[in-house]
C-alpha cells in the first residue's frame, strides 16, 4: 500500500479507492476524454473531494499505475522464488500480462501518448523494476534468454503484448512469437 494511503483516515481511504475505481472504469470506456467531474459523479463524491486526493488527471493516472505496480510487485516477488530461471521469467511475464488484461485503464495509461508522471509513483515503479531486472538477469545468466536481453526488453515485450489485448487473446500469440525470438533453445 502506498504511503499516501497508509496515512489516510479510513473514510478518506475509501473515498480515494472509490475515485480510483471510478476513474479506472471511465478511462477504460472513454480514454483521455473523461472529465474530473464525471469521475467524481461515478464515485458518488463531490469534485472537491476528488481534487483533495488528485490535483489533475495526470496524478489520477499515476495512482492507477501505482496501484497496478503494487499488485505486480507481489507477483514478481513470488516469481523470484522459483528455482528455475525460465519458470520465474515466464511466471512474471505471463502473470503481469494476465493481471493487466482486464485493466484497460492501466493499459491506456501506460500506452497513452502522454508519458506517465513517474515521480508520483517512483517507489512502486522502482520496487517492481528491481525484481524484474533480477529475474531477467538470472534467466540470461542461466542461458535461457539471449545474452543481450535486458529489463528494458521486458518492458518492450510487455507493452507490445498490452497493445494486442483483445477479446480473442491476441496478446498471447504476440507473446509466443516474441518468446520464440528471445529464448535460447
CATH code of residue 97: 1.10.357.10
Q: 114: domain range?
A: 67-185
> What is the three-class DSSP state of 164?
coil
As for how many domains the chain has, the answer is 2
60: in domain: no
Short-list 77, 91, 74, CA closest to 144: 91
pLDDT band of 8, cuts 50, 70, 90: low
Q: Same structural domain for residues 72 and 130?
A: yes
CA separation for the pair 41, 80 (Å, rounded): 41
Q: Same structural domain for residues 79 and 137?
A: yes
For residues 128-145, give the mean pLDDT: 96
Give me the pLDDT at residue 184, please. 87
* CATH number, position 50: 1.10.10.60
59: in domain: no
29: in domain: yes
Q: How far are the Cα atoms of 33, 34, 35, 112 from residue 58, in angstroms, in the given order? A: 13, 12, 12, 11
Amino acid at each position: 500500500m502506498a504511503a499516501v494511503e497508509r496515512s489516510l483516515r479510513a473514510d478518506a481511504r475509501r473515498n480515494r479507492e472509490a475515485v480510483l475505481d471510478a476513474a479506472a472504469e471511465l478511462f477504460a470506456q472513454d480514454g483521455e476524454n473523461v472529465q474530473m467531474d464525471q469521475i467524481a459523479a461515478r464515485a458518488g463524491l463531490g469534485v472537491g473531494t476528488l481534487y483533495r486526493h488528485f490535483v489533475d488527471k495526470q496524478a489520477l493516472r499515476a495512482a492507477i499505475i501505482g496501484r497496478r505496480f503494487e499488485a505486480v510487485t507481489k507477483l514478481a516477488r513470488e516469481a523470484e522464488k522459483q528455482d528455475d530461471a525460465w519458470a520465474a521469467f515466464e511466471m512474471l511475464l505471463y502473470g503481469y500480462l494476465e493481471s493487466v488484461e482486464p485493466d484497460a485503464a492501466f493499459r491506456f495509461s501506460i500506452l497513452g501518448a502522454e508519458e506517465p508522471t513517474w515521480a508520483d509513483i517512483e517507489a512502486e515503479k522502482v520496487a517492481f523494476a528491481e525484481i524484474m531486472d533480477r529475474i531477467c538477469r538470472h534467466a540470461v545468466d542461466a542461458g535461457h534468454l539471449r545474452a543481450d536481453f535486458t529489463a528494458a526488453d521486458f518492458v518492450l515485450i510487455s507493452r507490445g503484448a498490452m497493445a494486442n489485448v483483445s477479446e480473442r487473446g491476441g496478446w498471447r500469440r504476440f507473446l509466443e512469437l516474441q518468446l520464440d525470438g528471445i529464448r535460447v533453445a
